[in-house]
Structure 1
């Protein structure tokens, strides 16, 4: 079945927010005055020669600050400069994990040499062909499949897997398109990471936390869990969907994170009310299936060996009980 939509959430409009030094000077402001405005936190220096109103900067998320930095880079770069790699994915509003947002990544379109690397800017070598680029929010970026491949060449497997899964889940690309990009650029360094990400990629995962747990299960040698498992009551009515399960081992996993709280809380529902409803849901799943629930958090993911040991103990106890 084809992918019906490639749209992501609209991004904050950053048009016209970057003010270059040359423009400020042309308006009659001196360098000394610019420095005073920066010290007074009226202006925020984004990078050398580029500024924004400080109150605007304070309101922006880390992702939108990266997008603004990208615009400051492009404002003084070659006109053929396109946002690629991490910067292309951020421009789409796709969540990332494990990549720095302090550095803008670009590639030039057409047959142009890359610029000079700077502390906040990595201009990549290579050419961005017309079929690998598109325009979004007024800037040229690499296509979703191309940027997915690109990040596998600059990041670790876990970080790259998160990026690829988020693009797949957002329906910004298909797995076949990602594989096609990998095949077309097999000579690029980092193919080992790309191949492993292709093997582990799963569009069914719904959050960064789920992506990271799936990767943890792989690295810790756990049986690969089934994601998004439906649970039905005695009348065949769908009553719950759990994040992961090992049905044959009578164990399921629920990931507790802020995204889940925001996504599944009902209008007007307090956090305590939501947590109580989640607890009732967990009890119902256990009663209907006979499974044991393992709840994990972000802090658990930071201790993969301990979490894997805990999961193995639960699995072992369930096997003994079944015997």
Structure 2
């Protein structure tokens, strides 16, 4: 038996209330071709991503409700420590009420309307407000990584982050204030951010980030994760070799070329972060000292 066609104006995600208003019978709303991801909603498409789930919930948003916290961070493409939250974070501006329903983590936040915007057509906290909200749910180092991502993507600058950290009655204000001085544009992964934090907190110089290395003829040789050009020392986080053999081979081919230009290359693997002083700081310090770095004062 052919199923009844749904009204086009419902789109792919809609509320049961709206469907009934348009004359869709109850038995059509319980058909197996429709999912019920949230109470009172239906969807005709699979929900594979956070964006899909947000679009499925959007018809239930009322008043000044918006996607926030980790959900907003994922919509902006910011790195988050795992595991990812199962529920969607949705906030409401008082006197509005936060949603309380299955699959939703509700918040009530007194935030200025100019700190909200649209992302993928969805109401969401803007990038800086999203970063500040993360302080209540993730640690300082992860805040730095998220801030690095914002600056690298051109979604904010350091002054924006500092202003957000200084907002009165901001939850997580202490963590935000501690993170801001370490945030840098240029980091291209949270692991790069983690390695950089290890280096600078150990008193080593602040490295240049993701600069290109050329030979004497101007030919491109490599893109260096972290580099000290004055001393020709580079530090590279290598987390790809097990997942992508071809990439590992390409990287291995360029290591002699980097050394051929007189550079010392310190390779950092994922498990080295468990012993940062011995596996990251010590070899980098030795390399810098061998090239004339005077040491920390």
Give RMSD over aligned pairs. Answer: 3.4
**Secondary structure of 1:127's match?**
coil
Distance 2:101 2:26 in 1: 27
Alignment partner, residue 18 of structure 1: 13
Alignment partner, residue 27 of structure 1: 24
Alignment partner, residue 109 of structure 2: 126
Is 2:234 the counterpart of 1:252?
yes
Alignment partner, residue 192 of structure 1: 174
Q: What's the offset of the Cα at 1:188?
A: 1.6
Is 2:166 the counterpart of 1:165?
no
**Secondary structure of 2:62's match?**
coil
Distance 2:285 2:190 in 1: 28
Structure with the higher helix share, 1 or 2: 1
Is 2:210 the counterpart of 1:228?
yes
Is 2:262 the counterpart of 1:289?
yes
Which one is further off, 242-251 or 154-163? Answer: 242-251
Alignment partner, residue 187 of structure 2: 205
CA 1:316 to 1:305, structure 2 compared with 1: closer, same or farther past 3 Å?
A: same
Is 2:250 the counterpart of 1:280?
no
CA 1:237 to 1:120, structure 2 compared with 1: closer, same or farther past 3 Å?
A: same
Unaligned runs of 5+ in 1: 1-14, 263-270
CA 1:103 to 1:216, structure 2 compared with 1: closer, same or farther past 3 Å?
A: farther
Q: What's the offset of the Cα at 1:23?
A: 5.3
Task: Give yes or no for contact 2:204–2:285 (8 Å, CA) kept in 1.
Answer: no
Task: Give yes or no for contact 1:47–1:69 (8 Å, CA) kept in 2.
Answer: no
Alignment partner, residue 63 of structure 2: 79
Question: What TM-score do you get using the length of structure 2 for normalisation?
Answer: 0.76
Unaligned runs of 5+ in 2: 1-9, 293-297
Distance 1:258 1:17 in 2: 38
Distance 2:251 2:13 in 1: 45
CA 1:46 to 1:292, structure 2 compared with 1: closer, same or farther past 3 Å?
A: same
Task: Give yes or no for contact 1:66–1:87 (8 Å, CA) kept in 2.
Answer: yes
Task: Give yes or no for contact 2:151–2:185 (8 Å, CA) kept in 1.
Answer: yes
Alignment partner, residue 48 of structure 1: 39
| Residue from 304, 310, 321 that aligns with 2:273 | 304
Alignment partner, residue 137 of structure 1: 120
| Residue from 222, 241, 245 that aligns with 1:240 | 222
Q: What's the offset of the Cα at 1:319?
A: 7.0
Distance 1:307 1:120 in 2: 38
Distance 1:320 1:168 in 2: 31
Question: What TM-score do you get using the length of structure 1 for normalisation?
Answer: 0.71
**Secondary structure of 1:97's match?**
coil
Distance 1:46 1:113 in 2: 23
1:39-90: CA deviations, max 9, x gaps? xxx4443233334346x23xx2xxxx32333344443342321222222232
CA 1:225 to 1:108, structure 2 compared with 1: closer, same or farther past 3 Å?
A: same
CA 1:47 to 1:256, structure 2 compared with 1: closer, same or farther past 3 Å?
A: farther
**Secondary structure of 1:309's match?**
helix
CA 1:315 to 1:90, structure 2 compared with 1: closer, same or farther past 3 Å?
A: closer
Greater relative CO (CA pairs within 8 A, separation 6+):
1
Distance 2:120 2:248 in 1: 38
